[in-house]
Chains A and B, each alone.
Chain A
Amino acid sequence: MSHEELHGSIPASYPALTFPRQTFVSLLAFAAVWEILSHLAPVLGIPPFAIPSLVRIAKSIATITPIDIAVTLARVMAALVASFVLGLALAMAMYRSEPLEKYLHPLIRILMAVPVVSWILFAVLWFPGVEFRIGFVLFVVCGPVFLVDALDAMRSVPRELRHMIQSFRPTGLQFFLKLMLPAIVPTIFTSWKVNISLAIRVVTIAELVGAVTGIGHQLSVAQELFSVADVFAWTIVLVALLFLLEAIVAQIEARLLRWRP
């Protein structure tokens, strides 16, 4: 048997974080147009504060407090981890128990249909603690996504593979650890990418209500001060944070899924 029989090869390295030239050019063009508009604003009848110059935005970025970024990031990650663990556990239970699946599925569909704003209002009315409110909102928004994605992925595991492993008579736990969990890893990564994006947006709204720390709170302060530059600066931070988290997930995904052709 020779190496010629091999059909492919394992990638030698993982994809690096890239910043394509086209992206750089388009961002530069946007910045140039923004700067021109900021200078033309008085001529166009637009209040000067509405389109601050890049220098003014840079000054706002320089005053950004890392603690608020850390707090928001911690809230997002804690909620995502809790949502993931509980969503996955419930998905496994629903996969094992058809009656449980039949009773819970309609409730989860309803949960997913409730607008985020409604959850924020419920949280404010139901819970006194700010942290719990924010965690609750993130959990009810992200948890069902993890659950539904994981359950669908488990149901999609080929019958042939399920029969193969069952023929070796695994325990219930082994069945999940050796087959189901590895099989749904690609879907889990997709869920994480979707939920990171969702959580970053939702946490900002949740922090607007009652929080005294975090990016959402700082956006609220900027709005009260009519500071578009500060809003812009914090928005840049949010987008950068989202891209950074997605890039980290993509790196882990490439490493764990290196077996894929």
Chain B
Amino acid sequence: MNAASTPMNGPPPIAVRGLRKVFRQTTTGQSVVAIDRLDLNIAPREVVAIVGQTGCGKSTFFDMMIGLETPTEGSIHIGDKTPYADFDHFRGKIATVFQQDRLLPWRSALDNAKLPLELIGLPEDVQRERALTWLNRLGLGNFTNAYPHELSGGMRQRVAIARAFSVQPDIMLADEAFGHLDEVTAAELRDTFLALARESGSTAILITHQLEEAIGVGDRIVVFGKSAKLLADIHVAQWPKSQYAVLREAIQFTLQNNVPDPRLAQG
């Protein structure tokens, strides 16, 4: 393991307790329950895939994890801190790869990869060295001075991954990070992302709506029903590879019917 890319004291555990989020619609004034009493534990260095249909509260959960939303009730604790109330504490400790690359168009690949390092105030030479290291690892060593519009979609997403890993985060979040890419590029980037996450010792949480992706990457698959109701918590290692087709069908059934498939009990 590369010491330079390992979180210093290891990532803290994540504990979600009775999490509830209610939004009030501005047009109708009606309340919408996005997350309803969610309980979830994620151990340090686990790779967890969260799957669910559109509107099941995955993104709301994601926004609370990155500190952009606060719960209506309940809590998310990362160690003994909460990501929304202890906003500054998690600077440099949580990083995100989004569905779109979200690169700043006026910055080169190198400067985009440096962005989070600038925010945590590292010396300029350290920023540059670390950003270059990650761009090289992502195969972009020859494109460090290219602007985003000069890169292909896959290359831009690689820069976004380099940007996220450059802070050496305790927790790495990926929100449908590979869904918009072609299958070959997505598979390649997914593998790279996972290898780097495991090597760096980060806890990784991937939100996806693609079952194949969830089964392929996660130590665990957490299945969200409507209002982020926890329908299933699957430890993938307990399923032999020969049973993956059954697993996929069972998750599919669970998502479609919003009730856990009995076959998932075997895990």
Contacts and interface: CB of A to CB of B under 8 A. Distances in A.
Contact of B98 (A164, A171, A185, A259): A164
B126 interface: no
Contact of B90 (A1, A169, A183, A261): A169
B102 A160 contact: yes
A165 interface: yes
Interface stretch (A5-13, A86-94, A119-127, A147-155): A5-13
Contacts of B146: 6
A10 B67 contact: no
A5 B98 contact: no
A168 interface: yes
Contacts of A160: 98, 100, 102
B104 A179 contact: yes
Contacts of B67: 166-167, 169
A127 B52 CA distance: 67
A223 interface: no
A261 to B, nearest CB: 4
A190 B32 CA distance: 42
Interface stretch (B8-16, B43-51, B135-143, B231-239): B135-143
Contact of B106 (A164, A174, A182): A182
Contact of A6 (B95, B116, B119, B151): B151
B155 interface: yes
B94 A167 contact: yes
Nearest to A6: B150
Nearest to B90: A169
Given A7-B152, A169-B88, A169-B91, A174 B139 contact: no
Contacts of B106: 182-183, 185, 257, 259
Interface in B85-122: 87-88, 90-92, 94-96, 98, 100, 102, 104-108, 115-116, 118-119
B143 A1 contact: yes
B96 A167 contact: yes
A259 B95 CA distance: 26
Contacts of A161: 102, 104
B149 A170 contact: no
A3 B152 CA distance: 11
A10 B94 CA distance: 34
Contacts of A257: 106
A105 interface: no
Contacts of B194: none
B253 interface: no
Given A1-B142, A161-B104, A167-B96, A9 B150 contact: yes
Interface residues of A, number: 29
Given A167-B68, A179-B104, A259 B147 contact: yes
A169 B87 contact: yes
B66 to A, nearest CB: 4
Residue with the highest number of chain B CB atoms closer than 10 Å, among A6, A168, A183: A168
Contacts of A164: 96, 98, 102
Interface of B: 63, 66-68, 87-88, 90-92, 94-96, 98, 100, 102, 104-108, 115-116, 118-119, 139-140, 142-143, 146-147, 149-152, 155, 167, 173
Closest 7 pairs (CB-CB, A-B) = A164-B102, A169-B91, A167-B66, A167-B96, A168-B116, A261-B149, A259-B106
Given A167-B67, A169-B87, 14 more contacts: A1-B139, A5-B155, A163-B98, A164-B96, A164-B102, A166-B67, A167-B66, A168-B91, A169-B67, A169-B88, A169-B119, A179-B104, A182-B106, A259-B149
Interface of A: 1, 3, 5-10, 160-161, 163-171, 174, 178-179, 182-183, 185, 257, 259-261
29 contacts: A1-B139, A1-B140, A1-B155, A5-B155, A6-B143, A7-B149, A8-B149, A9-B150, A10-B147, A160-B102, A163-B68, A164-B96, A164-B98, A166-B68, A167-B67, A167-B96, A168-B91, A168-B115, A168-B167, A169-B88, A169-B91, A169-B119, A171-B88, A182-B106, A182-B107, A183-B104, A185-B106, A257-B106, A259-B105
